[in-house]
Amino acid sequence: MILTVTLNTALDITYRVRELRPHASHRVDEMTERPGGKGLNVARVLAALGHEVTVTGFVGGVTGRALRDRLARTPEVVDALVPVSGSTRRTIAVADTTTGDTTQLNEPGPEITPAEWADFQEAYEVLLRSCSAVALCGSLPPGVPVGAYAQLVRTARALAVPVLLDTSGEPLRRGIAARPDVVKPNADELAELTGSHDPSQATRDARRRGAHAVVASLGADGLLARTPEGDWRAAPPRPVRGNPTGAGDSAVAGLLSGLVEKLPWPDRLARAVALSAATVLAPVAGEFDRPAYEELLSRVSVTSQTTAA
C-alpha cells in the first residue's frame, strides 16, 4: 500500500454565503464538511486510481471524531491516524456566491506533546514496513519539531521506502536536506526555499539542496521536473478554469502512483498534470473529474528540457 502522512489533519468546512462583507452578519446558505489536510486529499485521489492507501498523522478532540466519522465513509482509505489529546483543527472556506471568491480561515491545529510525537514516529515506522511509497504532506502542528520531516524522510530512506515531501518554509528546507526522493513545491514555495523566482534556476538549486527529483507545480503552466533521468516540462493541452483547491494534492497522487507503478518520468508527469487539471475542472473542490482526466491524459504535452548548466 501507499502511505500518506498528514501531521496537521483538518476538518475542511465550506460555507456558501450570498456576499462576504467584513463587519456584517451572514447566514450560511449551504455547508459541506470533509476530512482534509493535504495527505488525506492525496489519499482519496490514490484510492480513486485503484491504489491501496493508508493515512496517518494526528487526530484528536471532537473535530477529530467528526473527521474520522467522515473518513470511514471512504472505506478504500485505511485510517491509521494516531490519537492525541488536543483537538484537530478546522479550516473554513467562505465561498462568496456573488463574486465567486473564497476566503480562508485556518485554525492552527492542536499542540502535540513530545510523547505524542514519539508515539507517532513508532507507528510510522511500523506502517513503513508494509508500504511501497510514502508522501509527507502539509504544515506541522504546534509542538512538532521543525525538523520533523527531515526525521521522517531519514526513517523512510533507512527502510528503502521511496518518499515524496510536499511542504513549505523551514520544514521543507530541513526536510530536503535529508534527501527525499521527490519534492513537489509550488512556485511560491520554491522561491521561498531558493530565493529565486526563475523556476528553471530554482528547481536546479532545490535539487542541489538534496532532493533526488524536484517537481515544481507552476499553476496553469503545469509542472517542471528535474530528475536523475532527465528534465521535463509537462503542460495541459489547454488552460483550464475552475477551483484550484486540491490541484497540487492531485499532482502528488499522480506522481506517487506513477512511482509505485514504475512508470517512466514522462508518464508520471502526464498523469500528474491530467489529474491536476481534472481537479480544477471538478465542481466539488478537491475531487477530480474522471472523464476529463481520461480525456486529458493522452493530450498532456511533455517536453524534454535541455539542461543549460
Residue 221, C-alpha cell as written in the block:
503552466
Residue 102 found at the interface with its own copies (CB under 8 A):
yes
Round to whole Å and give the CA distance between 278 and 300. Answer: 12
Minimum separation from the CB atom of position 69 to its own copies (A): 7
All residues at 6 or more sequence positions from 154 whose CB lies less than 8 Å from its CB, including other chains: 178
Compute the half-sphere exposure of residue 150: CA atoms within 13 Å on the CB side of its CA.
15
Query: Is 249 a residue of the active site?
Result: yes
Minimum separation from the CB atom of position 95 to its own copies (A): 11
Kindly tell me which residue out of 2, 14, 15, 166 binds its own copies, with binding defined by CB under 8 A. Answer: 15
Kindly tell me which residue out of 32, 85, 97, 103 binds its own copies, with binding defined by CB under 8 A. Answer: 103
The length of the chain in residues reads: 309
Round to whole Å and give the CA distance between 42 and 133. Answer: 13
* Nearest of 88, 4, 82, 85 to residue 41 by alpha carbon: 4
Per CB under 8 A, which region of 1-9, 25-33, 177-185, 216-224 contacts its own copies?
Answer: 25-33
Q: Indicate the residue among 18 and 290 with the shorter CB distance to its own copies.
A: 18
Catalytic residue among 12, 166, 249, 289: 249
Q: Indicate the residue among 85 and 103 with the shorter CB distance to its own copies.
A: 103
Per CB under 8 A, which region of 1-9, 58-66, 119-127, 140-148 contacts its own copies?
Answer: 58-66
**Site mask for its own copies (CB under 8 A), range 105-134, x = bound:** xxxx--------------------------
Helices 187-194 and 169-177 cross at an angle (nearest 10°) of 70
Q: Indicate the residue among 25 and 306 with the shorter CB distance to its own copies.
A: 25
Minimum separation from the CB atom of position 239 to its own copies (A): 21
Compute the half-sphere exposure of residue 238: CA atoms within 13 Å on the CB side of its CA.
6
Residue 91's beta-bridge partner residues? Answer: 12, 106
Minimum separation from the CB atom of position 6 to its own copies (A): 18
Q: Residue 123, Cα to own-chain centre: how many angstroms?
A: 21
Q: Indicate the residue among 86 and 175 with the shorter CB distance to its own copies.
A: 86
Q: For residue 94, what are the CA distances in angstroms to 138, 144, 192, 197?
A: 21, 29, 27, 30
- Restricting to residues 61-100, name those near its own copies by CB under 8 A: 62-63, 65-66, 69, 92, 94, 96, 99
Residue matched to cell numbers 495527505: 39
The helix or strand, by DSSP H or E, that contains position 150, with its residue range, turns out to be: helix 148-158
Q: Indicate the residue among 108 and 114 with the shorter CB distance to its own copies.
A: 108
Residues that bind its own copies (CB under 8 A): 15, 17, 20-29, 31, 62-63, 65-66, 69, 92, 94, 96, 99, 101-108
Catalytic machinery residues: 249
